[in-house]
Amino acid sequence: MPVPAFADIGKAANDLINKDFYHMSQATLDVKLKAPNGTNVTVKGKQGFDGTTSGSIEGKHTLKPQGITVTQSWTTASLLDSKVELNDIGAPGAKIDLQNLWNPSKGNSAVQKINLAFKNPNVHSRAFINYAQANGNIDAVIDVVAGHEGFLVGGEAAYDVQKAAVTRYGLGLAYQTPAYTASLHGMQNLNIIAASYYQKVNSAVEVGAKAGYDVQAQKASGLELASKYKLDPLTFAKVKVNDRGIAALAYSTKLNTGTTIGLGISLDTQKLNEAGHKIGTSLTFEG
């Protein structure tokens, strides 16, 4: 299996627990289109049940012979995001991303980012360099993961140039196979320890669990269990529960080749007779 990035160690369990539950307490609409010239256009919108509405539009075009991808997006918060991705620069597996974030309605709001990555069958390393125009500061995050026969070990560190200090570091260990993955993360300067487990039981059933421990407070910081059942090739249902008594259900079905609908509900099992339960819907069009 390929070596994941540091942030993706344990990704299978995190996706099972978190993905598809995002539309709780809101209605979301995604429209994905492909222009004749190959540009992918994505329009997203969501409305929370508190009445808050937001959206974004993104255009993404890839020049395949050159290995260059250009992405431009705009959100209703007036954020312009311009990104150029250069693949296989200098060597296979090397990648450079140049990104500029800017809000025209706010002075000195621009942020420039340079992301560097290198990936081969045994190593996945990345560096993120950020420059904020507002304070003139530069910070960087570097992470690396090495793997051998399913065993993974990795670490990350954040450095603030203005402070001349390491502001964050973490470590990760994992063992992955096509059927299951077990991982252990030390985050926030090793103050939070998180363990996760994911298993594909068969072609229809997946299960996962995630638990955390706060070292400073010397107490558990959360436990979540989730399962996914594929009803047919186009439909699945998911359920998850946590140690606070919150249970969530999600259902997704592909109505046709271009339309997917999702439904979700979150219940506080300790307060079933009270308000505060959440429901949500999502609708995705692809063409």
Query: What are the structural domains, with CATH classification, of the chain?
Result: 6-286 (2.40.160.10)
String of DSSP letters for 32-92: EEE-TTS-EEEEEEEEETTS-EEEEEEEEEEETTTTEEEEEEEETT--EEEEEEEES-SST
- Do residues 26 and 47 touch, judged by C-beta distance below 8 A? yes
Amino acid occupying residue 153 = V
Q: Provide the sign of the torsion angle of the four alpha carbons 17, 22, 26, 31, taken in this order.
A: negative
Find all residues with CB under 8 Å of 116, minimum gap 6, and list them: 95, 96, 97, 126, 127, 128, 129
Intervals of the chain under pLDDT 50: none
pTM equals 0.86
Asked whether 112 and 130 are in contact (CB, 8 A), the reply is: yes
Q: What's the confidence (pLDDT) of residue 60?
A: 96
Report residue 47 as tokens: 């409305």
Any idea of the CA torsion for 168, 173, 174, 175, to the nearest 10 degrees? 160
User: How far lies 80's CA from each of 44, 56, 63, 104, 238, in Å?
Assistant: 15, 10, 22, 8, 35
Spatial separation of the C-alpha atoms in residues 152 and 12, rounded to whole Å: 14
277: β partners: none
Provide the pLDDT for residue 64.
Answer: 84
Token reading at 98: 């140049």
Of 197, 203, 253, 202, residue with least CA distance to 226: 197
